[in-house]
């Protein structure tokens, strides 16, 4: 008899970060800055002192204490994860229940749905096709659906839009369930609710070192919240979730505040110039692409030409993310990367518009 996979595993495929490897990587919202030599040297120094035969510190004590001071919270109000992705999985596994759905926005970061699926938890969707969350409507939905938890990214991946701090706090105080605010891109905006966490019993904030900080390779993220919530996560995670190399790297890196904030500023200005230039190009070819305002390190474009545009980028060696049929998500890169992207966009639209003109009847 053939062995039958559980229903939830049938048809699942491994995560595909985009099949094509391109020279210019603008598809994963990573930082365009690799580690500078002096910080790398400090990290190598620390790593060479590791006892590789020993298990990691299960509580990542030194790392969490450095991270606590970086984020301005108490050390017992923060926990490290193997990427914030792992923390999402731990939170959903721990706080979801069989008899209440979890409330997820659509569109939002795809992993929320994935981990809900793995926990066999029902998902209720909050419609975000207008690209924004109306807090009053969300509160209404909460009352109707009575979810076990609400999770969304703020600012949002993939829309790039953000919810103001006061609105998030109003939401938190209007619901009884756990509210998870994934601030993966908050380094690029100023509406974090981290300083409000001591007054919020039901809120966990997630942060990651993979985006603004430029540490995607080491897999490091944090969950922050009041002690009873963080204790519950500590108790439900796997014991040695953050390896010693990552703990050492994070501890050195999070002490380099000047470098981190200089990266954030450069990325923000790269993003602003990218948005600007895309808007100039779209003005040259009216009704071809629509842009959205962004609080993140990427921009979202809407176009009926997205599939073909995507192919043109791949042919030109630039990977961008094709989403929801007619959207492209493009990470702000360094000036050369941005101009690779912009050149292909301009040439493609130029060609497209000229073709359309030639096809017009005389
Ligand atoms: C990239 C991303 C993450 C994942 O971060 P890791 O720490 O690399 O796992 C989490 N949430 C959102 C919204 C993201 O875009």
Residues ≥6 apart with Cβ < 8 Å to 188: 155, 212, 264, 267, 268, 271, 295, 296, 297
pLDDT value, residue 11: 85
Measured at the CA of 203, the angle between CA 199 and CA 207, to 5 degrees, comes to 110
Residue 362's pLDDT band, with cuts at 50, 70 and 90, is very low
pLDDT at residue 324 tops 90: no
Q: Residue 355 and residue 340: Cα distance in Å, rounded?
A: 23
Q: Which residue has the tokens 């003109």?
A: 357
Q: How large a percentage of the chain has pLDDT more than 90?
A: 87
Nearest ligand 1 atom to alpha carbon 220: 7
Question: Which of 158, 219, 213 has its CA nearest to residue 188?
Answer: 213
Task: Find the 156 Cα to ligand 1 centroid distance in Å.
Answer: 11
Across 9-29, average pLDDT = 82
Is there an atom of ligand 1 within 6 Å of 153 CB? yes
pLDDT value, residue 97: 86
Average pLDDT over the chain reads 94
Is there an atom of ligand 1 within 6 Å of 314 CB? no
Is there an atom of ligand 1 within 6 Å of 108 CB? no
pLDDT value, residue 18: 63
Is there an atom of ligand 1 within 6 Å of 83 CB? yes
Is there an atom of ligand 1 within 6 Å of 251 CB? no
Tens-digit pLDDT profile for residues 140-175: 999 999 999 999 999 999 999 999 999 999 999 999
Measured at the CA of 61, the angle between CA 60 and CA 67, to 5 degrees, comes to 85
Across 257-274, average pLDDT = 97
pLDDT value, residue 361: 52
pLDDT at residue 4 tops 70: yes
Mark residue 174 as left, alpha or beta (left: phi above 0; alpha: psi -120 to 50; beta: remaining).
alpha
Task: Find the 51 Cα to ligand 1 centroid distance in Å.
Answer: 30
pLDDT value, residue 16: 75
Tens-digit pLDDT profile for residues 167-205: 999 999 999 999 999 999 999 999 999 999 999 999 999
Is there an atom of ligand 1 within 6 Å of 158 CB? no
Task: Find the 285 Cα to ligand 1 centroid distance in Å.
Answer: 34
pLDDT value, residue 128: 87
Task: Find the 341 Cα to ligand 1 centroid distance in Å.
Answer: 23
Residues ≥6 apart with Cβ < 8 Å to 150: 102, 103, 138, 142, 171, 175, 177, 178, 179, 180
Q: How large a percentage of the chain has pLDDT more than 70?
A: 96
Contact 83, 221 (CB under 8 A): yes
Is there an atom of ligand 1 within 6 Å of 84 CB? yes
Among 86, 89, 157, which residue has the most ligand 1 atoms within 8 Å of its CB, making it the best to mutate?
Answer: 157
Nearest CA to ligand 1 atom 2: 184
Across 3-10, average pLDDT = 90
Is there an atom of ligand 1 within 6 Å of 182 CB? yes
Residue 101, Cβ neighbours under 10 Å: how many?
Answer: 18
Q: Residue 214 and residue 209: Cα distance in Å, rounded?
A: 7
Across 232-247, average pLDDT = 98
Q: What is the pTM of this model?
A: 0.95
Q: Residue 182 and residue 83: Cα distance in Å, rounded?
A: 12
Nearest ligand 1 atom to alpha carbon 221: 7
Q: Residue 279 and residue 290: Cα distance in Å, rounded?
A: 8
Nearest ligand 1 atom to alpha carbon 84: 7
pLDDT at residue 320 tops 60: yes
pLDDT at residue 130 tops 90: no
Residues ≥6 apart with Cβ < 8 Å to 178: 91, 95, 148, 149, 150, 202, 203, 204, 229
């Amino acid at each position: 008899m053939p062995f039958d996979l559980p229903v939830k595993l049938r048809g699942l495929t491994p995560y595909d970060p985009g099949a094509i490897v391109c020279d210019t990587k603008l598809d994963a919202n990573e930082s365009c800055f690799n580690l500078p030599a002096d910080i790398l040297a400090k990290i190598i120094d620390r790593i060479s002192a590791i006892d590789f035969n020993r298990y990691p510190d299960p509580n990542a004590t030194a790392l969490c204490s450095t991270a606590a001071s970086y984020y301005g919270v108490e050390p017992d109000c923060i926990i490290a994860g193997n990427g914030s992705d792992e923390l999402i999985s731990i939170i959903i596994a721990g706080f979801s229940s069989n008899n209440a759905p979890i409330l997820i926005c659509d569109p939002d970061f795809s992993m929320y749905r994935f981990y809900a699926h793995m926990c066999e938890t029902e998902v209720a969707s909050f419609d975000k096709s207008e690209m924004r969350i109306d807090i009053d409507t969300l509160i209404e939905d909460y009352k109707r659906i009575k979810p076990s938890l609400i999770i969304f990214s703020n600012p949002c991946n993939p829309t790039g839009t953000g919810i103001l701090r006061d609105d998030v706090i109003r939401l938190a105080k209007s619901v009884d369930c756990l509210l998870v605010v994934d601030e993966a891109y908050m380094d690029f905006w100023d509406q974090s609710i981290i300083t409000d966490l001591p007054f919020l019993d039901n809120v966990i904030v997630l942060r990651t070192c993979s985006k603004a900080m430029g540490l995607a390779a080491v897999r490091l993220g944090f969950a922050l919240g009041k002690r009873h919530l963080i204790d519950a996560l500590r108790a439900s995670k796997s014991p040695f979730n953050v390896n010693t190399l990552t703990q050492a790297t994070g501890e050195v890196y999070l002490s380099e505040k000047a470098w981190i904030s200089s990266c954030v500023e450069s990325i923000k200005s790269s993003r602003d110039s990218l948005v600007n230039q895309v808007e100039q190009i779209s003005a040259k070819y009216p009704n071809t692409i629509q842009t959205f305002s962004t609080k993140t390190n990427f921009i979202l474009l809407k176009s009926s030409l997205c599939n073909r545009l995507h192919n043109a980028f791949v042919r030109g060696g630039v990977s961008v993310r094709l989403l929801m049929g007619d959207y492209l998500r493009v990470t702000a890169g360094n000036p050369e990367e941005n101009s690779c992207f912009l050149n292909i966009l301009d040439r493609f639209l130029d060609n497209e518009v000229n073709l359309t003109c030639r096809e017009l009847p005389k």
